[in-house]
Amino acid sequence: MYDLLKGLRVVEGAAFVAGPSCGLYLAQMGAEVIRFDNIGGGPDFNRWPLTESGDSLYWEGLNKSKKSVAINLSSPEGRALAVRLAAAPGENGGLFVTNFPAEGFLSYEALRKIREDVICVRVMGWADGKPALDYTVNCAVGVPEMTGHPDDPRPVNHMLPAWDLLTGAYGAFALTSALIARRMDGRGREVRLPLSDIAAASLANLGMVGDVMGGAPDRPRMGNALYGAFGRDFVTRDGKRIMLVAITARQWRGLLQTLGIGDAVAAVEAEVGASFADDEGLRFEHRDRLFPLFDTAFAARDLAEMIPTFDAQGVCWGIYQPLSAAVEDPRLYRGNPVFEEIVQPSGRRYLVPGAAGTIPQDARLSPRPAPRIGQHTDEVLLEVLGLSSGEVGRLHDAGVVAGPGA
């Protein structure tokens, strides 16, 4: 948590990963982020993983450091209230993050009737409004066809919701960009972020679309090998699996020296008429000749004996470990200053991150737990929307809003 965005008031009406992670990134940089939730929670409020008592670790993970207003979003009055909140007043308000449909009651046109210069970042599935999720977009751009081991014809969905996460971070960037623009020209904007466009643009940015449009065949699945450079997983004598990548000439030479296979690699170079040190593409092209030399060398050495020379030579490697081991790895979780143990609404105490970025000049502020649904209903209605306590009481009585006890 840092306070770079202190004073910004962002309202979030969003479920699943992309929208809530967008709001989370903004909160971790210091914005006040107010969610509105359906009374009892939205469609992802009970999403796995759950604690023994049924609380969602997923939900409380994505909604840390936010406030929650509980509104009956089925009622016309509740919907009107949500629109007012999304278009909240104030020089640094009118900033809305959502995945509600573009044509529904939270349409940009509806928001603009309340506040002309409102900014709305809208996560979508397809650009035409049809539903899509990370996994249903990912298969449509061909990533599962390129993932997995080459001896298995089945496509592989990666488990990481990468497009969701990317859309969330891009959404936070889009919101701050639109705010910078609004401060210049006074105009509001809606930035629509279909997962499908995020995915399609990303593969194009990596050169893959230019390749295929030029007639190259679709990239085959290559197991754990890197495309276009030298890298793969190897297993050491003591049974550790590591991912090893040599990009620069220095890394490559350091690697050959550590493994003592300089001569064997030179023999391959002489045979195929190539010099590997200065061309990562050639290392990739001839990987089937090179990998066995490395397999043999790793199988003859324990990991611990190689680490000092890897480190000295700048060789890039990482260990395969399950998340339960990563949690005890001081570079990743326990001992990493990005994380702090706090008690979340589930009652469970565990490590949660603040902002993933670190600013050496600024002190880290502690992450705050996720809210209970409706925990800030009254505070927000009174202070942000300026309702009277009588009005707030009436909304409670009418079942339009609810506090944390509901």
Q: By CB under 8 A, is residue 1 in contact with its own copies?
A: no
Is 397 assigned a catalytic role? Answer: no
Instruction: Give the residue with the Cβ less far from its own copies, 128 or 263.
Output: 128
Which residue in the block uniquely carries the two structure tokens 């190259």?
216
Which positions from 247 through 276 interact with its own copies, judged by CB under 8 A?
247-248, 251
Residues across the chain: 406
**DSSP code at position 327:** T
Q: By CB under 8 A, is residue 103 in contact with its own copies?
A: no
Q: By CB under 8 A, is residue 74 in contact with its own copies?
A: no
Q: By CB under 8 A, is residue 227 in contact with its own copies?
A: yes
Rounded Cα distance, 294 and 315, in Å: 14
Considering the complex, what minimum distance in angstroms separates the CB of residue 163 from its own copies? 9
Q: By CB under 8 A, is residue 219 in contact with its own copies?
A: yes
Q: By CB under 8 A, is residue 282 in contact with its own copies?
A: no
Which positions from 32 through 51 interact with its own copies, judged by CB under 8 A?
43, 46-51
By C-alpha distance, which of 371, 341, 394, 398 is closest to 69?
A: 371
Cβ neighbours of residue 219 closer than 8 Å, sequence gap 6 or more: 146, 208, 211, 227
Instruction: Give the residue with the Cβ less far from its own copies, 155 or 404.
Output: 155
Q: Which of 37, 55, 134, 164 is catalytic?
A: 164
Which positions from 364 through 403 interact with its own copies, judged by CB under 8 A?
none
Instruction: Give the residue with the Cβ less far from its own copies, 89 or 314.
Output: 314
Maximum CA extent, the chain: 87
**Contact assessment for residue 22 and residue 169, using Cβ atoms and an 8 Å cutoff:** yes
Spell out, one character per residue from 298 to 317, where the chain touches its own copies: x when CB under 8 A holds, - when not.
Answer: -------------x--xxxx
Q: Which of 45, 75, 114, 192 binds its own copies (CB under 8 A)?
A: 192
Instruction: Give the residue with the Cβ less far from its own copies, 62 or 402.
Output: 62
Extract the tokens encoding 298.
């790793």
Which positions from 317 through 356 interact with its own copies, judged by CB under 8 A?
317-327, 329, 331-333, 336, 338-339, 344, 346, 348, 350-353, 356
**Contact assessment for residue 102 and residue 108, using Cβ atoms and an 8 Å cutoff:** yes
Rounded Cα distance, 389 and 377, in Å: 12
Rounded Cα distance, 17 and 403, in Å: 25
Considering the complex, what minimum distance in angstroms separates the CB of residue 122 from its own copies? 9
Rounded Cα distance, 196 and 208, in Å: 16
Of 33-41, 59-67, 267-275, 391-399: span binding its own copies (CB under 8 A): 59-67
Rounded to a whole number of angstroms, the CA Rg of the chain reads: 26
